[in-house]
Chains A and B, each alone.
Chain A
């Protein structure tokens, strides 16, 4: 595909790397530039005596560079892609030199090996037995944890929420830590998230009781999990904190191949980890998917799904009553730029879509929401999206509202984002025939 400058910029692991890459996008720094449909390469003069050999697989995208940088892609690989994007004529078509061919061959070999199934364990019966024992032990701990949390929640409502703003932090961190011990990290997170609500300003009792209600629903559901239908059982196990391995999703999960539109991306940082959420939507069925990626703070996040593009790919979904989270198991051609953002025709339809999703997964926290033909309007210092009838969807507070107003200029635009039950956090917009990613980091 022809990468655009903005898409290349989106590949950079951080803003500084993107700018450093842009500085490398100068033909005078390069020798031996060349490209085929699938790859591009060149030698870039850097601070070392020998030029760095840089090549990029344009489909995936993947990169290799002999420079010592640990950033991926490094500034040279970015520079090469910027150069291709801005001055395609500067990189002549040609046959890849040996070092590029070697790398491409090794990549193909690795891909083939990864596709082959792993060798079976020496003693399958004993391994399975061992695994089952571990699983039973954990089930027991989680069940005990759930009972403990039910008692805590009962005590909380017996004493009343009015006192909560004066409680010390340990009031919340202690039960959360107990849930970690009980191997129910999902419950630990749900309890931990309650802690800030009594200090979150007017309306906190409603918000807190809503959360408490859903936590209660998870605890009661888990006690009766064996009587639930399978998809809901899987959803609830995820809520409690059981995880699926990548392999089991690839082998056991539902597969769906199609053209996937990459509609938006957000990155959230906590103390040690960056979490990247990338939202996809299948072009034909409109089915949404969420691809997560995790990285330690200084490490790059997977840049291969570029918002504003679409690609043919096969996704495997994690088991759930509302399957959203998925893995990309195969992608077989180059991404192409989007030609629009599909979405609900008005605010009512968008909200009904959310209600339907909630009916499938009552613990749904954030759902993808796309709505077409809305005008961002300011009201009382906040921004809302007004559809043609005037109905408003409020936006989550943050700088994104102003960006939407700027790209709209008072004209209707199409917006994609995450709906949290009360406000939309916009992630991208389609205005004036152009896709704009809206920064959302937290």
Chain B
């Protein structure tokens, strides 16, 4: 039997038996290997469990409030996290929110996904349930999803954790959350301010007005822009009212027998009172100062103040780009569907080479609208010009309603032979955004030779999405 202990054996093995032979043997190599074999087995067989305290009682996660997603839905989620049709992940998350939670075994993969993809974070936080928040609190780097002690997370957390804490605080009590934000605001860096101000869209209301008015004079551009947009969304804000009083006399629409005309008198100067209300005094290169001031001011006034005919009349003035650009910004900011449609129609009717002079792009207006209004506007634009409508629909990245889906299917029928490129792209978007209930209509498009593959892909995608929705409802 072996005389030497494990430590001696190990020391001897490291140094070599030539230099440090085990004591009292004629065959040092053999003795050392024998000892190693015996100790190896003793150590493996006698390996002790590490001592520790029993897991604390109160540390367990409380029961879930919502049912877990079905096995089929979970399997699809796992596939998307692995990169298979990842473009449908946002839709899965939106469909699941408030209805189902991610099954526990997929939570690590889902949270790891959220950690590296800030745009998906909020949607993922909405579906991880209590178990997900419990797990996130225990893994470094996932604190953004923990939502435990919100005040502490907002005060001392990492930036992602602070943002989700502020959003959650706003959801619970917007006014109290704003006070918390305002307390620390002067000490926040520009980058933090830009990220934090965005959280105010949760629970936006009259209680935010003073704060937003101050933020509209912030030194950082993103903060000013966000503040102005939020102020425009308040039902009645002093800043919007002041701006209306200034701009109304500058842009006057006169009805006439042969259509109306506009009388335009842009600001002569940009005084401190305009700068305080968020107007940038210095124009970008290539734009005149007065046009720039007018455009910005107009963008802060509810466009419904003027009849939509004013859009066409603007083209004939010397201030076309300033007026139309201002109204376009206002249509998006105030979510005015009538003005949005009027401007977009004007754009589609304008000769392509002259569109650059209009001072706006239709997609930015469209993206400002609520989904239902986007649908309605697109349906009417498609009715007037299938090709322009189909092109514009490529920007509509929300879940389309039935009417828009049907309108686009019809448009593709007419479009396919001449405008093969647009039709192919639009068919792709039909699959990704269209109403899955209309999969049969999309399948019928495969009759059209030039659209054959694209339509089949679209039908396949609609089918996949309808399965996905079904899996999430079972």
Contacts and interface: CB of A to CB of B under 8 A. Distances in A.
Interface of A: 4-6, 9, 15-16, 18-19, 22-23, 25-26, 82, 86, 153-154, 157-162, 205-206, 209-214, 216-217, 220, 347-348, 351, 354-355, 358-359, 362, 375, 377-379, 384, 386-394, 399, 402-403, 405-407, 409-411, 421-422, 431, 436, 438
25 contacts: A15-B79, A158-B16, A158-B17, A162-B15, A212-B33, A214-B37, A216-B37, A217-B40, A220-B37, A358-B44, A378-B139, A379-B52, A386-B54, A390-B53, A391-B49, A391-B52, A406-B105, A406-B135, A407-B104, A409-B60, A409-B134, A409-B135, A410-B55, A421-B44, A436-B104
Given A18-B75, A438-B105, 8 more contacts: A5-B72, A6-B75, A9-B71, A19-B84, A22-B467, A157-B16, A158-B28, A390-B51
A372 to B, nearest CB: 14
A161 B10 CA distance: 9
Interface string B240-269: 000000000000000000000000000000
Contact of A157 (B13, B59, B60, B135): B13
Given A161-B13, A210-B43, A213-B36, A348 B108 contact: no
B467 A26 contact: yes
A214 B40 contact: yes
B5 interface: no
B75 A9 contact: yes
Given A26-B467, A159-B18, A216-B33, A431 B51 contact: no
B48 A406 contact: no
Contact of A86 (B29, B72, B82): B72
Interface string B54-83: 110001110000000011100110110010
B14 A19 contact: no
A351 B48 contact: yes
B100 to A, nearest CB: 15
Contacts of B41: 213-214, 217, 358, 362
Interface in B395-415: none
Interface residues of B, number: 63
Given A355-B46, A375-B55, A23 B13 contact: no
Interface in B426-474: 460, 463-464, 467, 474
Contacts of B34: 216, 220
Interface string B123-139: 00000000100110011
Nearest to A431: B104
Given A210-B43, A216-B37, A436 B54 contact: no
Given A26-B463, A162-B14, A406 B50 contact: no
B105 A5 contact: no
B54 A388 contact: yes
B62 to A, nearest CB: 9
A371 B53 CA distance: 18
A102 to B, nearest CB: 32
A158 B18 contact: yes
Interface of B: 9-10, 13-20, 28-30, 32-41, 43-55, 59-61, 70-72, 75-76, 78-79, 82, 84, 104-108, 131, 134-135, 138-139, 460, 463-464, 467, 474
B33 A153 contact: yes
A18 B72 CA distance: 11
A378 B84 contact: no
A394 B82 contact: no
B17 A405 contact: no
A210 B40 contact: yes
Contacts of B135: 402, 405-406, 409
B238 to A, nearest CB: 50
A223 to B, nearest CB: 12
Contacts of A405: 108, 135, 138
Nearest to B102: A406
Contacts of A362: 41
Nearest to B132: A406
A410 B59 contact: yes
B35, B44, B135, B463: most-surrounded residue (chain A CB, <10 A): B44
Contact of B47 (A23, A213, A421): A421
B51 A391 contact: yes
A236 to B, nearest CB: 14
A205 B10 contact: yes
Contacts of B460: 23
A186 B233 CA distance: 74
Nearest to B460: A23
B50 A394 contact: yes
A351 B45 CA distance: 8
Nearest to B135: A406
Contacts of B43: 210
B354 to A, nearest CB: 47
A324 B138 CA distance: 38
B52 A213 contact: no
Contacts of B53: 390
B32 to A, nearest CB: 5
B50 A392 contact: yes
Contacts of B9: 209
A305 B433 CA distance: 41
Contacts of A205: 10, 13-14
B52 A409 contact: no
A211 B53 CA distance: 32
A319 to B, nearest CB: 22
Contacts of A82: 72
B61 A409 contact: yes
Nearest to B31: A157
Nearest to A211: B40
A5 B29 contact: no
Contact of A5 (B40, B44, B71): B71
Given A5-B75, A348-B49, A431-B104, A217 B29 contact: no
A22 B75 contact: yes
A209 B139 contact: no
A422 B47 contact: yes
B60 A406 contact: no
A213 B50 contact: no
B36 A212 contact: yes
Contacts of B474: 86
B13 A22 contact: no
Contacts of B78: 15
Contacts of B18: 158-160
B108 A161 contact: no
A15 B85 CA distance: 13
Nearest to B41: A362
Nearest to A358: B45
Nearest to B54: A390
Contact of A19 (B33, B39, B54, B76): B76
Q: Which of B18, B51, B104 has the most CB of A within 10 A?
A: B104
A393 B49 contact: yes
B108 A347 contact: no
Contacts of A392: 49-52
Contacts of A407: 104-105
B104 to A, nearest CB: 4
A213 B14 CA distance: 14
A427 to B, nearest CB: 13
B14 A23 contact: no
A406 B108 contact: yes
Nearest to A401: B108
A431 B90 CA distance: 29
What are the 10 A-B residue pairs with the smallest beta carbon separation, nearest first? A160-B16, A410-B60, A213-B36, A213-B40, A409-B61, A347-B49, A391-B49, A213-B37, A355-B45, A5-B71
B39 A213 contact: yes
Contacts of B79: 15, 18-19, 22
B50 A391 contact: yes
A158 B29 contact: yes
Nearest to B64: A409
